[in-house]
Each structure stands twice: as structure tokens, then as C-alpha cells.
Chains A and B, each alone.
Chain A
């Protein structure tokens, strides 16, 4: 599988106190642990189990993910921005791999 690639959409700028919508997606097959291969062996579970979003080190939104979330997990949520800064997004895999992405926002 190609390395999971995060994609994040954050507005470039906002006014102070505005509630913005953030959209995130990461390419990941989210193997549920329920499927079987052709020989009838269970394919081991391999999913993103945690997603977090922080703004300047402070938690904004996080999600505990179960196998019932679709492949290429998509999360859309909101954040209230008071000042310019950087959002940090983190995805954690069952194997312990961590994928992260950062995006700055300018507040006028």
C-alpha cells in the first residue's frame, strides 16, 4: 500500500472569533479485521485508531476511531480561531505509525 497521505483543507484566513470548518482526509485502507482472504484466513486489523487536531498545542478536536469508519477516513469539524497560528493534525495507526500535517491560518 502506498504510504498514507493526509489531505487537509483549512481556510487561509479568518476573522478573530470566527468558527471555521476544517476538512481532513487520509488515504488508508482501514482493514477492519472482519474480512478473509481467498484461503479463508482472517486479514488482520490495520486501521487508523486515533485522529487529533491541535491549535498551537491546545486540543481542538479528536476522535477515537473504530473499524466501522470507512476506508480513507474523512473528518469534518469546526474550530474557533482567535489569533493566527498553526493547526496540527495527527493520525495514529494500529501499527503505531503516526502521520501528521500542519497548516497555518492567518487571523485578521
Chain B
């Protein structure tokens, strides 16, 4: 097969991109591992938790993100913690929120950095040990890890 100039450029650009970012960025396996560490090996169910993130983030340096969990937030039944993971960042961990019945509602908003277009995952752990997950893809126009 003859490699055209255009193909050759494409291949080398792809390879360069991989060398530059590939090993430094977290992959889905690392995210999965952190998720399992958080849940204690349980596979999270869907539902109850809602992750609100923009579909397209123009600036990856500050992406607003809201997570809320449907819970009574009483002594008997409340959300213990919620962790946020981003599978395309250099390190998938983003933040872990800890709630108490005094929180009133299990809902929090923050602003995060995203290196590139990727999935953001939110996992909630209830006080009875059950886990729930939500996932959103965020398209990033300008990455937030520039140096």
C-alpha cells in the first residue's frame, strides 16, 4: 500500500498526540478502579443520582457541575458521600463530597477542570451502603490542563 502524504501526516500527528498526552492521561480502567475503591467493589445502580453538566464546555478550565441525589436526608437514611471522576483527565479523581443529615439535601455545585472531551461520572454512596451512578459526556473546546 502506498502511503499518501496526507495519510502520513495524519499518522504522525496521531502518534505525536498519543506520545504527548496518551500515557499522561487517565484511562477508563483507572477510572473504573477508583470507582470500585469508592464503592467497595459494588457495581453502582442507575437512578436516584443526577449529574448536571454542560453538554459543551467552551473553557475546560472552569466547567460548572452540579450533583444531586434523591434522599430524605434523615438520621436513618441519608447520602454519605458523592465522588466525581473524569476519565480523560491526568488523574480521574475530581472531588468527593461528604454529606450529613444536617445538609438537608444531598446537592452540591462546584467548578472543575476538564483536559479534553470526556465522561464525567458521579457516584453516590448511601448510609446503608448502596451505590448509585450517573454519567455525562462533556465536550470540551479548550482543555483545562494547558501549561
- Give the B-binding residues of A (Cβ under 8 A): 19-20, 32, 34-36, 43, 55, 58-71, 73-80
In-complex Cβ contact of A74 among B91, B96, B101, B109 (8 A): B109
**Which secondary structure dominates chain A's binding surface?**
strand
Instruction: Please report which residues of chain B, range 120-147, place their CB below 8 angstroms from some CB of chain A when the two chains form the complex.
Output: 144-147
Contacts A69-B111, A76-B108 hold; do A64 and B103 have CB atoms under 8 A apart? no
Contact with A along B60-77 (1 / 0, CB 8 A): 011100100000010000
Most interface-central of A63, A67, A68 (chain B CB within 10 A): A68
Do the beta carbons of A78 and B103 come within 8 Å of each other? yes
Instruction: Give the docked Cα–Cα distance between A21 and B62 (Å).
Output: 21
Do the beta carbons of A74 and B110 come within 8 Å of each other? yes
Nearest-neighbour CB distance to chain A for B99, whole angstroms, equals 6
Chain A residues within an 8 Å CB radius of B111? 69-70, 73-74
Do the beta carbons of A62 and B98 come within 8 Å of each other? yes
- Give the A-binding residues of B (Cβ under 8 A): 61-63, 66, 73, 86, 89-91, 93-105, 107-114, 144-147
Do the beta carbons of B100 and A61 come within 8 Å of each other? yes
Do the beta carbons of A19 and B104 come within 8 Å of each other? yes
Instruction: Give the docked Cα–Cα distance between A47 and B103 (Å).
Output: 25
Do the beta carbons of B98 and A61 come within 8 Å of each other? yes
**In this complex, what residue of A is CB-closest to B64?**
A74
In-complex Cβ contact of B112 among A58, A62, A68 (8 A): A68
Instruction: Give the docked Cα–Cα distance between A66 and B110 (Å).
Output: 12
Instruction: Give the docked Cα–Cα distance between A34 and B108 (Å).
Output: 26
Most interface-central of A59, A63, A73 (chain B CB within 10 A): A63
**In this complex, what residue of A is CB-closest to B120?**
A68
**In this complex, what residue of A is CB-closest to B100?**
A59
Chain B residues within an 8 Å CB radius of A60? 100, 102-103
In-complex Cβ contact of B110 among A32, A59, A76, A78 (8 A): A76
Do the beta carbons of A76 and B95 come within 8 Å of each other? no
Instruction: Give the docked Cα–Cα distance between A60 and B62 (Å).
Output: 25
Contacts A35-B147, A76-B110 hold; do A70 and B61 have CB atoms under 8 A apart? yes
